[in-house]
Amino acid sequence: MWHAEQTALAEGVEAEFMYRYESSAPSQVRAELGIATTHIGGGVALAMRNDPTGYWNKALGFGFDEPVTGELLDRVLDFYRDEGSKMAVIQVAPAVLPQDWDDLRARHGLRPEGKIVKLWCPIDFFTAGVRTALRVEPVGFDDLREWASVVLRGFGMPEQGMGEMIAAAAAHPDFRPFAAWDGDRMVAGANLFLHGKVGSLNTGATLPGYRNRGAQSALLAARAQEAVQAGCRWLVAETGQPAEGGSNSSLNNMLRAGMRPLYTRENWVWRSDGADRLTRSPSRAEQGRIGVEAFG
């Protein structure tokens, strides 16, 4: 498999599980959070008008069914304007950015704010060891709402509405949620999303007070084994790129397990007021949640 195919699959699986997360929300939650989802140009555009985190207004998966052009960006941003979103993050793999990207993104008011590392490996190369006293198991249907709560709190996100949204998506058989327990208390969670021969490792977070106890390494190993049993050939994941001189424990865990960087992708942020916010430090939501696996 060559690089272009890997890139297309990596972007496609992330776009699909992000679309599932938001489109699966119950109707009452969709109304409460102002959720709207659509497919544009082979990618997805996801709006959450009442998003308090700056994370869920996101568009990705572009450049494979049709090229990235000014007309495509117009359609994407018109969707966010029509939905009343105040901001959106546009994510495009560097391999499919057009030569005139700098002109296009400047014309459309897109500002760089944080980077995401996309990781990839053949499933046989994955070697995560399990070093934890915590119990790691799949999450049953009755525990999905608790799992959603743990994940959101681990990410520092509010639960209202989003807990129901995440739990509803995780009930689909293509989602395989796992958790770590300290006795009877769930303290960490993570998800595996199955998409053909690709298994996406995403949504990994641990509650404060239980970090550095091996939960995420054990959750990586458990999900990789589940992906093997499901017939996957490849594993893919994404997490925030740390600042120069900084560290990201999630990235380090995945590198130790045999995953390798495929590329680094910029977050291009659009705001409805057109204000230049480059002097502001990117929030953890906009950076892809440094130190945890990204939702996407």
Instruction: Give the rounded percent of residues in the chain with a pLDDT score beyond 90.
Output: 85
All domains in the chain, ordered by first residue: 3-116+264-271 (no CATH), 122-256 (3.40.630.30)
Question: If pLDDT is split at 50, 70 and 90, which confidence band does 291 have?
Answer: low
Is residue 250's pLDDT more than 50?
A: yes
Question: If pLDDT is split at 50, 70 and 90, which confidence band does 241 have?
Answer: very high
In 3D space, the residue among 175, 205, 200 whose CA is nearest the CA of residue 190 turns out to be 205
Q: For residue 132, what pLDDT is reported? A: 92
Q: For residue 277, what pLDDT is reported? A: 42
Amino acid at the residue 69 = T
Identify any residues that bridge with 91 across adjacent strands, giving them in sequence order: 60, 267
Look up the pTM and report it: 0.92
- Neighbour count for residue 246 (Cβ, 10 Å): 10
Distance CA 99, CA 117 (A): 22
Q: For residue 274, what pLDDT is reported? A: 66
pLDDT of 251-274, one tens digit each? 999 999 999 999 999 999 999 986
Q: HSE of 35 in the Cβ direction (CA atoms, 13 Å)?
A: 23
pLDDT of 91-150, one tens digit each? 999 999 999 999 999 999 999 999 999 999 999 999 977 789 999 999 999 999 999 999
Token code pair at residue 267:
């977050």
DSSP 71-112: HHHHHHHHHHHHHT-SEEEEE--GGG--TTHHHHHHHTT-EE
Q: For residue 273, what pLDDT is reported? A: 84
